[in-house]
Amino acid sequence: MTVTSLANVRSAEQKLASIQELRQQVHRMQGTATSQPLPTLPALSGLVQLRTGASYAVSTPGLAMLAMAGPSAAGSWSAVIGMPDFGLEAAAELGVDLDRTVLVPEPGEAWLEVTAALADVLGVVVLRVPTARSGFRPVSQHQAARLAPRIRQHDAVLISVGDWPRAEARLSIRDSQWTGIGRGHGRLTGRRARVIAELATGQVREAHLLLPGDDHQVRVVDTPDRTPELYAVRAG
């Protein structure tokens, strides 16, 4: 290959890269950015694969921490909105980088605007919408639709503690067992939970997880242990 032909190849490659970059920018402006996979904790990977531009619903703050831990540990900036009781120590143990986490405990009536603004600049937004008991109505289809283009355009991901219209997946704990109690006494050392993932495709997945185990690590177990050392409880 001559020097001239090599230069032509390089010029063509540069033009192709520029075209691809321009195409991605147009997709973002139109709210149709290509969805990309996000780092997901191994314990959750069999249930759901987080992707940019999508929304997810979880039933508990603990599941929200699990979902945000993968992207956060990989370097993504995160926001936690509407959760004044968010457990920072527990989140850090799961892998959440607190130095890259923005907390907005009480967004009030401006929760939608706050969420939209943070989705513009941060990779992961965890939201608990104020409930009717606080004088607010549950999130509506219209409110979710207003946020969806912002999330797609900026390659963010929304994790809602509570239901969310048109979520890509809904994670919930159906039942759980605590370890370490013994015969009516002792110290709680771990929790085994049956986690259900209901995907937007209609598929339902299930896994038994340690949340976390004695070593503070979340991992999958084949079946929950049924020894007398466990105390079964119904998930709230």
Distance CA 175, CA 209 (A): 11
Going by pLDDT thresholds of 50, 70 and 90, the confidence category of residue 75 is very high
pLDDT tens digits, residue range 180-224? Answer: 555 555 555 567 889 999 999 999 999 998 876 555 678 787 654
49-63, 82-96, 167-181: the lowest-pLDDT one: 167-181
**Is pLDDT above 60 for 230?**
no
Distance CA 167, CA 164 (A): 6
Distance CA 181, CA 190 (A): 10
Mean pLDDT across 7-15: 57
Tokens representing 182 are 């013994």
Which residues does 37 contact at the CB level (< 8 Å), separation at least 6?
A: 49, 50, 51
Cα diameter, the chain: 82
Distance CA 86, CA 82 (A): 9
Task: Give the pLDDT score at 84.
Answer: 93
**Is pLDDT above 50 for 85?**
yes
pLDDT tens digits, residue range 124-171? Answer: 999 999 776 655 567 889 999 999 999 999 999 999 999 999 999 999
pLDDT greater at residue 208 or residue 33: 208
**Is pLDDT above 50 for 232?**
no
Inter-CA distances, 92 with 97, 108, 159, 164, 202, Å: 6, 26, 18, 26, 33
Task: Give the pLDDT score at 25.
Answer: 55
Q: Say if pTM beats, i.e. exceeds, 0.85.
A: no
Mean pLDDT across 3-15: 55
